[in-house]
Amino acid sequence: MKFRSYKKCLDYLYHQLPMYQRIGAQAFKKDLKNIKLLSKALGNPQSQFKSIHIAGTNGKGSVSHFIASVLIENKLKVGIYTSPHYLDFRERIKIGNDFISKKEVIDFVNTNKQAIKKINPSFFEITVALAFDHFARHQVDIAIIETGLGGRLDSTNIITPLLSVITNIGLDHQNMLGNSLSKIAKEKAGIIKKHTPVLIGERQVGIQNVFKKRAQQLESSIFYAKNIIAKNQYKALSQQFPANYQSKNINTAINAIKILYPKLSTKTIFNGISKVHQNSYFIGRWQWLSKNPLILVDSAHNQDGLTLILNQLKSKKYPRIHFVLGFVNDKSLDDILRLFPFDSSYYFAKANVPRGLNAKVLKLKAAKYGLKGKHYSSVRKALAAAKSRIQKNELIYVGGSIFVVAETV
């Protein structure tokens, strides 16, 4: 049976194929066998375009979009593959600001249904194959490819990029990547390829030798991001992107550009970073939903990311912050919940995905750390409750998971 409806096609992808965002670790494949078989059936599209490969615990989505926007500003046709999506599945696969069309998704699944049935790939594997096929068919000049989980065994790791980028290493997805920074670093270092330069976004004590050793084994040049954004010509970008963490991501992106395109002008780089929202559909990072009342959303979802967010919010000295929070059920929350302030109001919600943590359970976990509030049956109801109680100059912050943010942006 061939799909004629995009909705039915999408339902098939979501419900017939194992999907990590919905069911968790059991959807994670421990090797690259399926994606290699699927790519072979498609004629190995990943070898038909140039690419930049980006891994890391935090910031890889932002870095991907910043690099892409600069290259778009340089008049290149740029493919962008990121995951997961917020509102629309097609956000994952873009050329510039244009999502893959619904028709192309349907045609891909219909054309390759026999191969899909035979290989039985995961949702992520088929999405990666769809992206590579799309970029090859549209003959992009270059594609920016963000890893999903880890790097070594990530489905995107069949490309041979011009440059590998590793933004940073933090504790996240320990149940699949390892329970220490060095183990996670080894997984991320798996994207380093033979004779291919690699850029490390942040120097972190104790794990630099992991990258250095891997790069030496593969005879690959290794670079560490220099503090470029502090220079006069780029300082203004910090005002355009007030989230403190974005300074690191912008800095990593500029360093990557300078490695591959050393002659690119400062003006082009500056304009590309500045236009990231219009050039590449960039949402969900330190995004203001409203100024009256003040509503801020952000996708930070692990200890390192939320530490940066909460420190910045603390420095703003809001009279009170109303936190609308939800998390996934396979995330260790002890080190995360203890980051949040006692003197705030909490509205606990379950994101509308199977992996969403039950709001009642979250409320009980949070109470152990002195975080008091009510639970709600949906993110929207939690947000509505926060709106009904906010006072002048107070802030509503929505976050904890990209899936929580997705229901509000």
**Where exactly are the structural domains of the chain?**
6-280, 287-406
pLDDT at 16: 72
pLDDT bin (cut points 50, 70, 90) of residue 373 is very high
pLDDT at 180 over 90: no
Both structure tokens of 16: 């017939």
Region 164-190: mean pLDDT is: 83
pLDDT at 168: 94
Region 58-68: mean pLDDT is: 97
pLDDT at 22 over 70: no
pLDDT at 51: 98
Between CA 378 and CA 398 the distance in angstroms is 13
The pLDDT > 90 percentage for the chain reads 84
pLDDT at 238: 85
For the entire predicted model, the pTM comes to 0.94
pLDDT at 401: 94
List, for residues 199-208, the tens digit of each pLDDT value. 999 999 889 9
CA angle 17, 23, 25 (to 5 degrees): 100
Region 305-325: mean pLDDT is: 96
Residues 62 and 56 sit within 8 Å (Cβ to Cβ): no
pLDDT bin (cut points 50, 70, 90) of residue 231 is confident
Region 115-123: mean pLDDT is: 91
- DSSP-assigned beta bridge partners for residue 143: 51, 79
Region 69-81: mean pLDDT is: 98
Region 151-155: mean pLDDT is: 92
pLDDT at 95: 98
Query: Domain 6-280 is classified in which CATH homologous superfamily?
Result: Mur-like, catalytic domain (3.40.1190.10)
CA angle 319, 322, 325 (to 5 degrees): 150
| CATH class of this structure's domain 287-406 | alpha beta
Region of poorest pLDDT, from 89-98, 167-176, 282-291, 362-371? 167-176
Same fold, 6-280 and 287-406: no
Q: Where are the alpha helices (DSSP H) in 42-168?
A: 60-73, 102-111, 113-119, 123-137
pLDDT bin (cut points 50, 70, 90) of residue 29 is low
pLDDT bin (cut points 50, 70, 90) of residue 212 is very high
pLDDT at 183 over 60: yes
The mean pLDDT of the chain is 93
List, for residues 241-281, the tens digit of each pLDDT value. 999 999 999 999 999 999 999 999 999 999 999 999 999 99
